[in-house]
């Protein structure tokens, strides 16, 4: 199994990058949809359309892309000679992933609130929330690409 993972390493990495791009695209776009959704009147056609877009984005793209990111990322962790667990960067990456996954959970909760017409947050709140996955993504990519320590 371990030898097999070493053989397919470039493919695992390619599939990992494809899945994290898809995960991040959704994580950055969904809070943006919330910013616009706040401005739509409850019960309006526009508000109902946002609900459909948000549900499809979360269930059709963000959730499966997150699962695939963990599967391929986990396979990279298990590939021999790829990660030096004595280095600091991998632990910072894993900590950032913990917060990214937590943010995913919040997005899911906010989507449900919008779906039930019970959102309580302002558009400013979602604008700021949008910065969280951006900052985590920058940190993660610097950790894996630069490996500063």
Binding-site ranges for ligand HEM (CB under 6 A): 13, 16-17, 20, 24, 69-70, 73-74, 76-77, 82-83, 97, 100, 137, 140-141, 144-145
**Contact indicator for 37, 76 with CB cutoff of 8 Å:** no
> CB of 3: closest distance to ligand HEM in angstroms?
18
Q: Which residue is nearest to ligand HEM (CB)?
A: 73
Tokens of 89: 């960067």
Question: Rounded to an integer, what distance in angstroms lies between the CA atom of residue 125 and that of residue 38?
Answer: 10
Residue 85 or 118 having the CB closest to ligand HEM? 85
Give the shortest CB-142-to-ligand HEM separation in angstroms.
10
* Other CB atoms within 10 A of residue 108 CB: 14
Name the CA dihedral angle for 16, 137, 32, 121, rounded to a multiple of 10 degrees: 120
Q: Choose between 99 and 125: whose C-beta lies nearer to ligand HEM.
A: 99
The least CB distance from residue 72 to ligand HEM, in Å, is: 8
For the bound state, the minimum distance from the C-beta of residue 30 to ligand HEM, rounded and expressed in Å, comes to: 15
Angle at 34 between CA 17 and CA 72, to 5 degrees: 15
């Amino acid at each position: 199994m371990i030898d097999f993972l070493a053989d397919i390493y470039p493919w695992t990495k390619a599939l990992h990058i494809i899945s994290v791009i898809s995960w991040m695209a959704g994580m950055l776009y969904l809070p943006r949809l919330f910013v616009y959704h706040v401005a739509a009147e409850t019960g309006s056609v526009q508000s109902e359309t946002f609900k459909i877009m948000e549900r499809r984005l979360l269930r059709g793209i963000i959730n499966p892309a997150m699962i695939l990111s963990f599967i391929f990322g986990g396979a990279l962790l298990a590939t021999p000679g790829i990660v030096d667990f004595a280095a600091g960067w991998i632990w910072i990456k894993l900590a950032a992933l913990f917060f990214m996954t937590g943010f995913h959970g919040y997005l899911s909760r906010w989507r449900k609130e919008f779906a039930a017409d019970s959102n309580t947050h302002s558009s400013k709140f979602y604008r700021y929330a949008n910065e969280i996955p951006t900052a985590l993504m920058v940190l993660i990519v610097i950790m894996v690409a630069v490996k500063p320590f």
